[in-house]
Amino acid sequence: MRRGKPRVPPNTLLGNVAMQKFSWILTAFIATAFGLASQGLAVTINYVGTEPGGPGSGYVTENWSNPAVPKSFATGTSNTYGKDGYWQIRPNTGTDLFEGVAGGNNLGTSASAFPTLWMGSNPSFMSSIEGAAGNFVNFGGYSVYRGPDGSSLYRQGALSVPVAEGPYGTPGVPTYAGQTLSFTLNYSGTVRVGFAVDSVGTAQYAPNYVGIYSPDLTPNTTLSAALTRDAVPDMAIFDIVNPTGQTFYVAQWQTAGTQSVSAMSLVTFDLIPVPEPSTVVLFAAGGLAIAVKAMRRRRS
């Protein structure tokens, strides 16, 4: 009698086919993940949200450097903003300040009186940062902010710039814009940036929107949500993804009928690291191992 090949149960055949297909899919996923992790991605700008100030929020914006005050958009474990870079513009302890400044300035870091507080040098991921033409201001009635140490208190100053560039149709109503500063970033990852406004005691000198512009992007401007102009600080926060060599321009926008000047008090930078390619591959491989084990259990 002729012996045929042993008959394989249909469920085993289906399981083998499914296993092969699943392995092919996971292999493709690993290759894709490795490729994405090791190659540059297109630069994008995303509005993250706004941290409010004032008593109702625990003065979050004013307490940007105080880890004891909860932050909605803090990165890492520090519960602060500006852990990788900060420019706290011309704070002092009570002396009035009005100083004109030309475009391309250093945001007041080298001022002889009441200089801007910063790290002492640009962070490694930043090629340059420059302020636009305007006035450094600090007068009575301005908001009180924490210093970079998280405890010292200062009456917060600002860089005030003319809001006269326009009108523009974004975001759906006539608006006027004033460029406040620009910076160039070199980083293959995500940089979270924050801009504190409405700190100078008069809502007239606050923006309706903060926006980041880059001529290399489409659309080339990303705006915050509408801000409340009430002389209570707000901090608009954005994520810039994969800014490998791009220059970004930050502007403050006011709606038609209110355009005059607008002031910015604080700029912060926080890195969101990119996983190493090896980490991505290990994660994918671990997922494959778990899936294979689960399928073997189903077959048995």
Please state the domain extents for the chain.
Answer: 11-37+278-299, 42-273
Dihedral sign (CA 277, 279, 285, 290): negative
What proportion of the chain, given as a percentage, has pLDDT over 70? Answer: 75
* Lowest-confidence pick of 80-84, 170-174, 212-216: 170-174
So what's the pLDDT on residue 170? 62
Distance separating alpha carbons of residues 237 and 61, to the nearest angstrom: 11
- Token readout for 270 is 């926080």
Distance separating alpha carbons of residues 80 and 99, to the nearest angstrom: 30
Tens of pLDDT, residue by residue over 106-124, are 999 999 999 999 999 999 9
Distance separating alpha carbons of residues 237 and 46, to the nearest angstrom: 9
The answer, as to whether pTM is greater than 0.95, is no
Helices then strands, each counted (H, E), the chain = 2, 16
* Lowest-confidence pick of 102-106, 190-194, 285-289: 285-289
12-16, 168-172, 198-202: which is most confident: 198-202
